[in-house]
Amino acid sequence: MSGYLVRRLMLLVLMLVLLSMAVFVLFSLLPADVARLSCGKACTPEIIEANRIRLGLDKSVIEQYWVFVKGIFAGRTYPEGGGPAALVCAAPCLGYSFRKNATVLQLIGERLPATIWLALGAFVLFMVVGMVTGVLAALRRGRWQDKSIMGVALLGYSLPSFFLGLVVLFFVIIRWKLLPYPSYVSPFENPEQFFKTMLLPWIVLAILYAAFYTRLTRSQMLETLGEDYIRTARAKGLPERTVVGKHALRAGLTPIVTAGGLDLAGLLGGAIITESVFSLPGIGSLAVSAVVDPDLPVLVGITLITAFFVIVANLIVDLLYAAIDPRVRVAA
């Protein structure tokens, strides 16, 4: 196991290095006018040049990448090499946003709570709903319960998130006035307002994701319910609840957990549409504003953090696999 772990960790580091390089190469395609963008009305070529140097854009992509990596471990200053009124970005430095006058880490840190709450709430909701409906559909295979569950799931699967979000917003908040307009607060500050704000985003994300888990759970259940040991368990006279809960569901759980872990990781990187529609101060809405009002350091930072979550989640899922099933270790 430990050998496998070491191999996987090395692979993780390699992936992170490759990923950060890919991000740098991709974003180096962006117009070099970033220096011009942070320049005002009295914009002269000299000021643009000074900005380029301050932002480190005068260097080659490779050098910029090196400065960036160094910044993560040792911090960096703007301009490089310090000087009067140089900005200090302490390690781990993911860059500094001159648009928002804050370090990228600080900006992401401020928005992480809303994103985490959104992801966790939605995760619990869609896992529970998805698995319960999936089991139900499998047990009633071919009957009306199965058909209606699968029909609703297909609809949920097909709804574009922004349309669903807008429709929910329109009816629940604007037409029926069941909830106030979303205004995010920390749950520790004002739990009531927090729940009123988060309820709809949770439901919207849950509808979008639950559909997938309904389908997955159902097909897993159908597969395991057909296995011999289930028939044996039934033949032994075990109650149906035990057969389904203890044997069938557990056996089919692994792919569900895998998918769940990866989805959770993806959501931690911010749900762009849902956060935007419901005005939540999360990573996703930060990303959109960094695109509209071009803010390169923030984009790079968010891309890396998000990809980092996914890669780590992949590793955790694989390790869990290996812990459960020794054959995986050998195969890898």
Partner 1 sequence: MGKIRSRTGIVVVSAVVGSLILAACGGGGGDASGGASGAASGAASGAASAAASAAAGPQKGGTIYILSNAEQLQTLDPQVIYTGEDLAFLGATIMRSLTTYQMSPDNNEGTTLVPDMATDTGTATNGGKTWSFTLKDGIKWEDGQPVTCADVAYGVSRTFATDIIAGGPTYALVYLDIPSAEDGSSQYKGPYSGEGQALFDKAVTCDGNTITFNLNQPVPDFSYAVTLGFGAVRKDADTGADYANKPLSNGPYKIQSYQTGKGGKLVLVRNDQWDPATDSWRQALPDTWEYDFGLDESAIDQRMIASSGNDEFALSLGLTTASLPIVFDDPAYESRRIDAFDPYTRYVAIDTQKIPNEKCRQAIGVAIDREALRTIAGGKYAGDFADGLIKPNIGVDYAPTGLWDGLLGQPVPPTGDAEFAKKLIAEAGDCPTTITLDYAQSADADKAAAVWVDSMAKAGITLKPNPIEPGQYYGIVFDPEKAHELMGAGWGPDWPNASTVIPPLTTLNGGFDLSRWDDKDWNAQVKAAQTELDRATQATMWQELNTAAAQKMLVIPTRFGRDQRMAGTNVGPVYSWPAYGSWPYAAMGVTG
Partner 2 sequence: MAADLVAPPERSSAKPDEVQGRSIWQIAWGRFRRDRAGMICLGVLILLVLIAIFAPLICHLLGVDPYALDPTAIDTEEAGKPIGPWGGASLQHPLGVEWGTGRDILARLLYGLRISLLVATVATLLTTAIGTVIGIISGYSRGAVDSIIGRLMDLILAFPFLLIILALSGALTERITSLGVPEGNASRITYLILILSVFGWPYLARIVRGQVLSLREREFVESAIASGAGTPRILFREILPNLWAPILVYATLTLPAYIGTEAVLSFLGVGVLPPETSFGLMLADSVKYFTIIPSYLFIPGTVLVILVVTFNLVGDAVRDALDPKAGRL
Residues with Cβ within 8 Å of 156's Cβ and at least 6 positions away in sequence, in order, are 207, 208, 210, 211
Task: Please give the structure tokens belonging to residue 270.
Answer: 């911010």
Residues 54-73: x/- map of binding to partner 2 (CB under 8 A)? Answer: --------------------
Candidate ranges 19-27, 105-113, 243-251, 305-313; the one touching partner 1 (CB under 8 A): 105-113
3-state secondary structure at position 281: coil
Least gap, CB of 52 to partner 2 (angstroms): 17
Q: Does 280 bind partner 2 (CB under 8 A)?
A: no
Which of 13, 22, 124, 323 is the binder for partner 2 (CB under 8 A)? 22
**Cβ(280)–Cβ(182) below 8 Å:** yes
Return the range that interacts with partner 1 (CB under 8 A); candidates 104-112, 216-224, 240-248, 306-314: 104-112
Other beta carbons within 10 angstroms of residue 145's beta carbon come to: 14
Q: How far is the CB of 278 from partner 1 (least distance, A)?
A: 9
Closest C-alpha to 71, from 44, 89, 53, 97: 89
* Min CB(267)–partner 1 separation in Å: 17
- Token pair belonging to 26: 């991709």
**How near is the Cβ of 81 to partner 1 at its closest, in Å?**
14
Which residues 6+ apart lie within 8 Å of 27 measured at CB? 296, 299, 300, 303
Size of the site for partner 1 (CB under 8 A): 49
Of positions 21, 43, 222, 328, contacts partner 1 by CB under 8 A? 43
AA letter at 37: L
- Which sign does the torsion angle of CA 176, 179, 181, 182 carry? negative
φ, ψ (nearest 5 deg) of residue 98: -80, -15
- State yes or no: residue 112 binds partner 1 (CB under 8 A): no
Among 51, 64, 285, 306, binds partner 2 (CB under 8 A): 306
Please answer whether residues 134 and 216 qualify as being in contact, where contact means their C-beta atoms are separated by less than 8 angstroms: yes
Peptide bond into 79 cis (omega under 30): yes
20 lies in the site for partner 2, by CB under 8 A: no
How far apart are the C-alpha atoms of 97 and 87, rounded to whole Å? 11
Residue 42: which of partner 2, partner 1, none does it interact with, CB under 5 to 8 A by kind? partner 1
Binding flag, residue 270, partner 2 (CB under 8 A): yes
Q: Which is nearer to partner 1, 148 or 183 (CB)?
A: 183
Q: Which entry of partner 1, partner 2, none binds 40, CB below 5 to 8 A by partner kind?
A: partner 1
Whether residue 250 contacts residue 221, with contact meaning beta carbons closer than 8 Å, is answered with no
- Answer for which of 25, 62, 91, 167 binds partner 2 (CB under 8 A) is 167
Q: Does 280 bind partner 1 (CB under 8 A)?
A: yes
Q: Which stretch binds partner 1 (CB under 8 A): 18-26, 237-245, 278-286, 315-323?
A: 278-286
The DSSP result for 130-181, as a single string, is HHHHHHHHHHTTTSHHHHHHHHHHHHHHHS-HHHHHHHHIIIIIIIS--SPP
Instruction: Return the one option of partner 2, partner 1, none that residue 203 interacts with (CB less than 5 to 8 A, by type).
Output: none
Residue numbers at the binding site for partner 1 (CB under 8 A): 31, 33, 36-44, 46-47, 50-51, 54, 84-85, 87, 98, 100-102, 107, 110-111, 114, 166, 173-174, 180-181, 183-184, 273, 275-277, 279-282, 285-286, 288-289, 292-294
